[in-house]
Structure 1
Amino acid sequence: MFLLCCQCSGQNKTALVRLGITHVLNAAHSKQGSIGNQHFYGNDFVYLGIPAEDSTYFDLDQYFRPAADFIHRAVKSSDGKVLVHCIMGMSRSSSLVLAYLMIYEHMSLKQALHCVVQKRAIYPNRNFLALLLDLDLQLMKKRRKRRSCVIL
């Protein structure tokens, strides 16, 4: 299970413990207005910080796989719950959750968007959407290639 939220929720360690959060993925690590690192969260949480910028030029796709792997490891552990946050919880963090759904849950971008939008409003910027569309195409090609190898 994972939660997607804004940075203010990610800084309330008492609330995180109460929710059963075990892992924190901060998609705005070291950015102004974002507090958090492994030292801040201590031994109560496993932390991954991604220094993403919510901009039209930031290359977020370099973090799709590491973020997806982190979420996957957390949700596959018996009691794992992941909090994924950034400053506003709408673009950076949602893009990383979408990438996770596409990579590990084998959803298309359209399916992943539909899944997340049912739970909360998200607004990945155009750049991030373009990178997610590229990821969608790459994953689709891999799936087709695997299916064609099985058929042969």
Structure 2
Amino acid sequence: MAEETEGYTALSKGEEKQTYIHPTIAELQKLLDSKHPSFSHHVNEVWPNLYLGDLFIAKNRYELWKLGITYILNAAHGRRLCEGNNDYGATITYHGVPANDSPDFDMSQYFYSASEFIHKALTSPGDRVLVHCAVGISRSATLVLAYLMIHHHLSLTQAIEKVQENRWICPNIGFLQQLIHLDEELHSARSKNMQEQKAEIC
């Protein structure tokens, strides 16, 4: 008899069918709403050496120094109230993503490039990366979720739950839909890869 586990339909023998149940927008909204918003912190470590924060922390060089930040990904580069630039000096590597916090904005075009930037930072010994936008809950949170999905093979739900352990986030509905598509794309690619590996073994 089959049972539902971690979004998969699992057989009684422990084998997984190739059917992945993707979360709906309503389910994701319910998950996001399950955590009470708290803006008591401008920045939080949501993954080892990966910090998610707002504009205040991005402009506070003393706090950046205390945190040991060496990479900054600005998800609101060049936007109003968040005019990103790369004048941090030689101690910080900067990358800007000119995103609007609008459901109609295509954030997915930056999923892989932003994830590679974060991955490069986190695979360099001693480096730490700050991902921020204006408030640190939508644009920047979306890119952090994409990174966890792409490089750590977390499902979208798992990625949200992981970030929520340390910070309240609220990606807009358009970004959530784009993350669902990424979730589908990644699962499909990994399922295909597993099938090819099994075929080679057989």
TM-score (norm 1): 0.97
- Residues in 2 aligned to 1:143 and 1:2: alpha-carbon distance in whole angstroms: 25
The partner residue of 1:120 within 167, 175, 180 is 167
Deviation at 1:15, TM superposition (A): 1.1
Partner of 2:68: 20
- Any unmatched runs of 5+ in structure 1? none
Matched, 1:67 2:114: yes
Aligned equivalent of 2:177, options 130, 146, 150: 130
Q: Is 121-130 or 9-18 further displaced after alignment?
A: 9-18
Coordinate RMSD, CA, aligned:
0.7
Q: How many residues align?
A: 151
Are 1:30 and 2:78 matched, yes or no? yes
**SS state of the match for residue 88, structure 2?**
helix
- Structure 1 runs (4+) deviating above 4 angstroms are none
Q: Distance in 2 between matches of 1:149 and 1:119?
A: 38
Which of the two has greater strand per residue? 2
2:104 equivalent in structure 1: 57
- Whether 2:151 is the aligned partner of 1:104: answer yes
**Percent identity (aligned):** 45
Instruction: Give SS of 2:166's match.
Output: coil
Letter aligned with residue 131 of structure 2: V
Match for 2:142 among 89, 92, 95?
Answer: 95
1:11–1:35 contact (8 Å) kept in structure 2: no
Indicate conservation of the 8 Å contact 1:99/1:132, yes or no. Answer: yes
Secondary structure of 2:110's partner?
helix
Instruction: Determine if contact 1:11/1:36 at 8 Å carries over to the other structure.
Output: no
User: For the residues of structure 2 that align with 1:126 and 1:35, how far apart are their CA atoms?
Assistant: 24
Taking structure 2 as the reference length, the TM-score comes to 0.74
Q: Which structure's CA Rg is the greater one?
A: 2
CA deviation string 1:103-127 (max 9, x = no partner): 0001000100000011100000000
Q: Deviations over 1:37-73 (max 9, x none)?
A: 11x2111200000000000110000000011000000
Secondary structure of the 2:94 match is strand
